[in-house]
Amino acid sequence: MNTLIVPTDFSTIQAAVDAANLGDTIEVLAAGGPYAGATISMDNLSFKGVDNPVVEGSVNGFLLNNVSGILIEGFTIRNSVHGINLMSSNNNMIEKNTIQVNSVSGVSLLASDNNTIENNIIENNSVDGINLACSNNNAIEKNTIQNNSVQGIWLSSSNSNTIEKNTSRNNSIHGITLASSNDNKIEKNTTQNNRVSGVTLASSHNNIIEKNIIDNNDLNGITLMTSNDNMLERNTVQNNFLHGINLLVGNNNTVEKNIIQNNGSDGVGLQRSGNNKLEKNTAQNNGFDGIQLEGSNNNKLEKNTVQNNVFDGIQLEGSDSNVLEKNTAQNNGFDGIELEGSDNNALEKNTVQNNGFDGIQLVGSDNNVVEKNTAQHNGFDGIEIEVSHDNTFEKNTVQNNEFDGIELENSHNNTFEKNIAQHNGSDGIELEVSDNNTLENNTILNNMVNGIEVASSSEKNIVIKNTVLDNDGIDLIVDPNTNTVANNVCNTSDPAGQCMDGC
């Protein structure tokens, strides 16, 4: 194993390559440069630049063609088509180079596996910083990839790669993109100031996106398109122009323990996406909703904190059969949780408080179950139901809201059972133009106006076995001629005689 020195022993890098034997080291001195590139077709050679010699002006700075065991270290590679190009080459190391101003890619891998690309500066290339096609089990680590005209890092049909601790910024499209690429790990990277998204997956499955900082990109922080079974965990996604995290036609993904904040639109947005799990995320200070589902069914949202968002904490629009459980929605500008045109959802054990409008609002939403939630200190009603039918509200606590505890408008065939409505600024429960609803075994206490008010325009409602006491107005206002009223406990009623005690 010998050391060949360029330009001392050979005037060009290619001449040294042609004379080298297996295991040799080729040292290239900066003083003799700039140098033309070289094609490497022998295994186990080391190329070491001394004082960052410049390689430029060739089709490839270095072309590795069906080789393994190559080290390229310490060069400035520029003004070529590809800075470093690996074709069918495995188990090579590319490290500590500056690769810039190439007309296609900084580093390109085609059908090349088990390579390491580490600690390079890759910038100002006309297409991608790093491009992998049909290349697997490679490690891309600790690189700075910036100011490239298309992608920072691009993987196409490339699986089981690790992309870790890179900075990918100021690229003209995405910071990191996976297309038809599976089982990759994207961890502890910083992607910022890219013209589209920080991280994008297209038709890519079973990938892990973990512990990244994704900041100030011009579209979304993380975008998944037709991508399934991916894990997005413990990322900080902030200051992006639109969504923090956007799932478009993506199924069976897990979005967990992320901090999603200060994005211009929604913190997390799902469109036509199903069977996803959103758990233990914090979505705060976003310009629209904290979490928004549009045309998305069978998702589970659990133990998320959504706060200080400009519109709703959580909004479902045209989204059915979702489960919202144990979330905290607070200090949002509009509603804590809003369902619009959304059916067969389950809202259970959520805390919705200090929101500007309603705690929970249903509009045009049927057959939902709203159970064991706490809605308190909201600017309008604790729970508001508009043009929504066949819903069940059970064991909820609605208290200290500015207007009604629970309000129904133009809503029919709903059931209210074992709820507590207390200390609200207007009525405990109010029905307007709402028929065939059942109010049973509810506790209505200490509200500022009336306890239960069923307006004259509401008929065929059943109001039985409720405890309605100590409200500042009249405890129970129900017309018994058009509604069924029996076995309630109250002090005052209108008409009189509808209570078991005190009437």
Pairing of strands 105-110, 420-422: unpaired
Domain ranges of the chain: 1-125, 127-241, 409-503
The vertex-257 CA angle with 165 and 346, nearest 5°, equals 150
248-259 pLDDT, tens digit each? 999 999 999 999
Predicted pLDDT at 57: 79
pLDDT above 60 for 503: no
- Rounded to whole angstroms, how far apart are CA atoms 314 and 268? 9
Strands 93-95 and 116-118: parallel
- Asked if the model's pLDDT at residue 494 lies above 90, the reply is no
Q: Cβ neighbours of residue 64 under 8 Å, at least 6 residues apart?
A: 40, 70, 84, 85, 86, 87, 89, 92, 112
Mean pLDDT of 429-437: 97
Mean pLDDT is lowest, of 288-302, 308-322, 464-478, for: 464-478
pLDDT band at 498 (very low <50, low <70, confident <90, very high): confident
Rg (CA), the chain: 32
pLDDT at 474: 85
Q: pLDDT (tens digit, 9 = 90+) per residue, 365-378?
A: 999 999 999 999 99
Alpha carbons within 13 A on the beta-carbon side of 25: 9
Q: Is 330 helix (H, G, I), strand (E, B) or coil?
A: strand
Alpha helices in 154-196 (DSSP H): none
Chain centre distance of CA 483: 48
Q: What is the pLDDT of residues 119-148, one digit of tens each?
A: 999 999 999 999 999 999 999 999 999 999
- 37 touches 16 (CB < 8 A): no
Pick from 209, 162, 212: which is nearest to 192 by CA? 212
Residue 502 pLDDT more than 60?
A: no
